[in-house]
Chain A
Amino acid sequence: MSTDPGTPTFAPVIAGSAIAAGDAAATPTTSKNVARVGGAVNPSADALKQAFGAGVRRVDVVWGETTVYVDVARAHEVIQWLHDEPSQRYDYLSDVTAVEFRDLEQPIEVVWHLRSLPFRRFIRIKAQIEKGQKLEVPSVWDIYRGADWLERECYDMFGIRFVGHPDLRRLLMWEQYKEGYPLRKDFPARGRFSRSEQLRQALAANPEARYSKEELSIADAFEDLPEDMKRRLGTGERVGE
């Protein structure tokens, strides 16, 4: 594979490298007797309050982990800032998920788990989508490429659309799945369709037509395919639809 001149070179990140030498956080420790609520707040939360003012709604500390509630509209901005700001350097997105509560009055929360390796910090960003609002949040795919499948999974399970995601399709359920979003509270445990209908739809899928040409090109696997399959995919055929 030829090296693209535009590709940034690989630079290793040393965990804790940005922490000042005398700082207590310089040596990682396992904290004991952590309170359920309250305790030391992640310093990034205060920095966020200063930078975004009313965009930050609330800061909670639960089990020693800091949660920052932000506006849905500014979530992307906040995460971008946490990623780019030299005093924060949140360079690792470990999860994107969502929470729906049994209490139907409560808003659905979208959750981002961010980790700063150089500062050894963890912060949880939450955005609440009020009832009646469209289930849409900005995608952070342009900041963290790793958000790709995390957001697809979240869309698959909750039906939350991540605006700006390049390829928002179902991830766990098959793409033709029509029953809805399984982790939503109004979804019955056995699904909406009858067993025989579920089975009929599942068996109608063609297991060999699961991958689009784009998907294979990303994996650089397209060239290794047998000729007949290349031809089929080249015409854009997707038999499983």
Chain B
Amino acid sequence: MGLTPRPESSPRIVQTHSDEPWITTRLDAFVNWGRKNSLWPMPFGTACCAIEFMATAASKYDLARFGMERQAFSPRQADLLICAGRVPFKLAPVLRRIWQQMPQPKWCISMGACASSGNGIFDNYAVVQGIDNIIPVDVYVPGCPPRPEGLIYGIMMLQKKVENERSSDKSLRHELEPDPKSQLYLAPQVIDELSEPFGNSVQQTRSGL
């Protein structure tokens, strides 16, 4: 996706014999327009990022301008999971279950450094090093915590992403367990190597003991 040229999607107004004009457009463009302007977010706030999320949703920054008037506190009525804050291993199965409970189409924003990467300072025994270990993420918002402008920028990026989705691309809505035959599959050993910049976790101690 993204490499194929897109057909023109701007709607054309057609003037007919009667006084009522009507428009033609691509169905994708119309559906995506509806989707991107009515993303119902489900906040999954576990730490200080959730405070910034609340500020974003409150009157000054006003998420409602982006069609997010309704915060869905049930995953079954949400389109967008905003994970704000660090996720400990104990919460990992909960977050995955919540993601599985959300109906398609669904998107995910990883808000802040902790949710995106574990934030370095939480590189410890209890914290998942990035929620993309558990669920797929569409947009990463950097910051510790990100300012409301940062989150809004991330949301607008996601809206662009939604706008450019193609219904012919079936892979977007597929939910797959990791498949060892896939090209994207990384073996657990490889993931370990990638996630440990300072060497083996068993030998590594921070206190210099």
Give chain A's interface residues, CB within 8 Å of chain B: 102, 172-174, 179, 182, 185, 187-207
Contact = CB atoms under 8 A, between A and B. Distances in A.
B126 A192 contact: no
Contacts, number: 78
Q: Give the secondary structure class of A's interface.
A: loop
B191 A195 contact: yes
A159 to B, nearest CB: 14
Interface string B187-209: 01101100110000111111101
Contact of A196 (B92, B126, B191, B206): B191
B76 interface: no
Nearest to A173: B90
Interface string B72-90: 0000000000000000011
B191 A192 contact: no
Nearest to B208: A102
B90 A102 contact: no
A13 B167 CA distance: 68
Contacts of B24: none
A69 to B, nearest CB: 26
Nearest to A102: B209
A203 B129 CA distance: 14
A189 B125 contact: yes
Given A182-B126, A187-B125, A189-B123, A195 B201 contact: yes
B206 A189 contact: yes
A194 B203 CA distance: 11
Contacts of B124: 189-191
B161 interface: no
B195 A195 contact: yes
Interface string B28-44: 00000000000000000
Given A189-B204, A189-B205, A190-B201, A174 B90 contact: yes
Interface stretch (B12-20, B93-101, B139-147): B93-101
Contacts of B202: 188, 192
B90 A202 contact: yes
